[in-house]
Structure 1
């Protein structure tokens, strides 16, 4: 059992399994079955997954290590999990045979690289001259040196390596070839050098050359039964290098059939919300953490083609929405939905990207925060954080980082619609934008400020006019324009910038003798008014206001001597004239 060769013992995955009766465990072990089918299968044995921070990359890497590594003993861990139901046909020792999941369970030589840990170890090595080894000068040298050092602790491997010529302290590929063994390589955060050493092109080239030797050269490639790389960024176009273009790659722009493994699915979150210890509804989880929407080919596609059906479903998609898994787990453990994303370390990167303002990015970000979507094309994205020259590339990067979602069904081959996926990301982006010096100068924010002031001053005519301008804007769905829900959206988005930090908003809130359409209640400050809103389509604002009074929606805020100001707001829309009407009264 080692650190780099055949790791074993406890890790993030085994700890989750051990605590599944008292914690949250979502069984994604069927992903292992997908990798079993790819073992020694040409280029299919090379897999790369790019997911945002806090989306379970490390847990998945640990899961694969726990399954394959000779240094682990995990039969009891996987018993009863999804992968235990695996059966298939593989060529083993030159003969086809029926196999179960136990065929490879803890029977493979695994090389495990956690690039974050290796980077930390290298920095410690670099700062202590007593540790210095001749010719080990950078993290690429260090990575090869420490891995080779551990491989040589295996007596059988060391004997074979010792007989091979020209294997030095950094000759990792040559050493692997000399062992005459097959390895499973699992590399977590493979793209760390392109994020943390972004300005060191010489180091990046050295790193890519090392990977080219492992995965492009025939002798290096023959050493691996499987290679699994995980990171944040896609990998194909780094600095015009194509060392890894033989990897089968899945990312937030196109996860394809692996979409369910990019987060928690609706069904999985539904089961979490049924747990006795979970006080949060799935509707709340959906609002806060879902919204990463992917398209996969319709499940009937292959069946139709196999049957020779001329009316096949080519070009048809089914959509899969996934939730941020880390945030869902934190919401359950802390008994509330909140923003658990803002602590991630890429916020500074987002600030830099927004402030580039190619083609009006700032306006587009504000529009998306308010509920809109913006088209972009990812064909020119170079898959790094440096070579960005236009808006399309920045939106592609923001999707990969998890700060934007993108429409699942493509508009064309490489065109997508970007949007803010959920409340958690919306709050994060709002906090980022509010800190920028240009924030108060943006016209869309100025309009929202005017709406809030118009409501507070009971200027009904101006309120109706501003809501109308939002209703007629590009980010209100044309298909939903004549629906009452569109008015709710207009007011929520219109008040977002000036009310979000000070108000809690409630839709269909039980109040009096019925349910108020929309209520804004101050979180702390008592000098802000409570706002109770009723919406009417093809009726009058007077009718809406009358309903608030007759149903006594404000009654709950007049108990126990509560003297806060309450504003009653009736808002209507005439679908024939497309005119808005508003009445505001102070209770």
Structure 2
């Protein structure tokens, strides 16, 4: 015991602050000012949920270190943002904090079930053990043990009564912090009885008058939003913020653009802002660009932008969701990886891993897990996003008409629009993770998108310009490309990269605007294994001709850089798009 009421050992936040001179510290302590404003007022029950590796535990440890009496006099926040706030001294280390780490409780419960000497009569389930453990931890304080012992209501498992007894004795209220609040909904997802027992406990604590009177502030964090039954939240007393609806707390869900820009200015950072942006940014929350904080820290520490998304268990969850194949979601995942954005509705998502009834639910869960980014169409300003809205305007109108035909009110139609979100793959790190997942599936090679990509590569290697042009036209007309303005050579380059993505994953690396010969070639596909596959050089033209593109490759001698390494195993391709006829033309030759 002694790990729940005012635990005072070092934690992630304290370690980070004490090592700030040689580790990356992004000061998010201004979040404490937000929680201070909620004390003893409406809104003092707060839930912020976000994906793994997005700083949930560090934030929980920060709140613990600030509010708990156990850290009084340690000056942990000197020089940090919160120290300049008017509420700083009022709440600093003034409270008994009940800190519940559900991962730790689960591990202890497993050990408890395996050792008969530890077992207590009547404490038989995880929730029983949770209540019993908190009560026993409170009793580590001799005064609290005495008042709890005098209460006839407490027993082994009446946690609410135990808290009430202590509050009546002290005249003070607790701060409660629960990390991984949703563990039971994830690890015991098929145990409906246990889940009901858990939600009954939370309801007793946070919806009953007796329980509510015990807390000056309660903070829940985890991956999943608070569970909904039908359309209602089981804990509607909480102000809830999550990846689907972050509200005013969007800037606390990860590192912001400005915060990463400051990291890059540090002498210990040798990675550019553009590299970090490409790999780890892209979570556009409430119009704010958010970076994965764990990955940024690892990249700066190791001086290497690679995938730090090590999520074996969550990968298994993604595989399960994709293989449910609601409404062709397998094909949708391929299009998302290619760069497409897909509209979905989050209104019916019940915030768990079991009640998955549609593609909308799958996308909601993938957003919560961090595998997809999520934008609110109402926050969009870019041309791309406008195009997406235009493409889906007809669908939205159809939905509204159907709503009215079913006799529902205009208010219901407005709710439908309010719950609309746009899903997309946020960055190179997540793209890499999803690629690894889908490539291992037995359906992967059977998908039409994959077959078309293989056909396109074969056509280029067969020097078949007509077939290459036809297949590029198909890619251009696909959802992954058609949402973009197709009016530059750059857009044409993107179209071809998209078309070749799946067939070149293992055998080629591609480079854009590669310095070669007397200038820069638009696109190069370089084999990963020398001597097996041909090098492919591609030059693009817009509104001109494929002949001009091919002629430029030869005149500028773009191939000269590569001839020694690849002898004559080099393919030259000139591709043009005619904006008047809306057709592609392609000429392909092998270097002689």
TM-score by length of 2: 0.89
Task: Give the CA deviation at 1:479.
Answer: 4.9
Q: Is the 8 A contact 1:530 1:564 kept in 2?
A: no
Q: Show the counterpart of 2:124.
A: 137
2:235 counterpart of 1:267: no
Change (3 A) 1:415 1:230: same
Equivalent in 572, 575, 580 of residue 568 of structure 1: 572
Q: Secondary structure at the match of 1:375?
A: strand
CA distance in 2, matches of 1:552, 1:71: 72
Q: What is the match of residue 371 of structure 2?
A: 403
* Stretch moving more, 365-374 or 190-199: 365-374
How far apart are residue 219 of structure 1 and its match? 1.2
8 Å contact kept, 1:6–1:71: yes
Give 1:84 shift. Answer: 1.3
Q: 1:518 and 1:457 mapped to 2: Cα distance?
A: 18
C-alpha distance in structure 1 between counterparts of 2:541 and 2:513, whole Å: 14
Q: Could you tell me how far apart the structure 2 residues matched to 1:267 and 1:513 are?
A: 39
Aligned with 1:369: secondary structure?
helix
Which SS does the other structure have where 1:137 is aligned? coil
Who is 2:359 aligned against? 391
Check 1:528–1:285 CA distance in 2 against 1; reply closer, same or farther (3 A cut): farther
Secondary structure of the structure 2 residue equivalent to 1:476: helix
Number of the residue aligned with 1:452: 457
Deviation at 1:477, TM superposition (A): 4.5
Structure-2 separation of matches of 1:323 and 1:384: 25
State the partner residue of 1:48: 47
How many residue pairs get aligned? The number is 550
- Range moving further from structure 2, 126-135 or 509-518: 509-518
User: Which position in structure 2 is the counterpart of 1:152?
Assistant: 139
Matches within 5 A, 1:375-454: 375-410=343-378, 412-454=417-459
- Is the 1:189–1:231 Cα contact (8 Å) retained in structure 2? yes
CA distance in 2, matches of 1:274, 1:348: 38
> Alpha-carbon deviations, 1:39-70, whole Å to 9, x = none?
1112x001111111111111111111111111
Q: In 2 relative to 1, CA 258–267 (structure 1 residues): closer, same or farther, beyond 3 Å?
A: same
- 1:298-377 mapped onto 2 (5 Å cutoff): 319-377=287-345
Residue 175 (structure 1) aligns with: 162
Aligned to 1:326, the other structure's residue is in SS state helix
Indicate the SS of the match to 2:224: coil
* SS of residue matched to 1:398: helix
Superposed CA deviations along residues 375-425 of structure 1, whole A, max 9, x for unmatched, are 111111111111111111111111111111122334720011211111221
Aligned-pair CA distance for 1:236: 4.3
Separation in 1, partners of 2:186, 2:291: 25
Matched with 1:96 is none
Change in CA separation of 1:72 and 1:501 when aligned onto 2, cut-off 3 Å = farther
Give the aligned CA root-mean-square deviation in angstroms. 1.9
What's the TM-score once normalised by structure 1's chain length?
0.90
Contact 1:53–1:344 under 8 Å retained in 2: no
Q: CA deviation at 1:114?
A: 0.9
Q: What runs of 5+ residues in structure 1 fail to find an aligned partner?
A: 88-99, 296-318
Residue equivalent to 2:550 = 545
Which residue of the partner structure matches residue 581 of structure 1? 585
Unaligned runs of 5+ in 2: 379-388, 390-416
Q: Is the 8 A contact 2:531 2:566 kept in 1?
A: no
8 Å CA contact retained: 2:309, 2:433: yes
Is 2:275 aligned against 1:284? yes
Q: Which residue of 1 aligns with 2:186?
A: 195
8 A contact 2:377–2:420 mirrored in 1: no
1:29-44 matches, within 5 Å, as 29-42=29-42, 44=43
Higher helix proportion (structure 1 or 2): 2
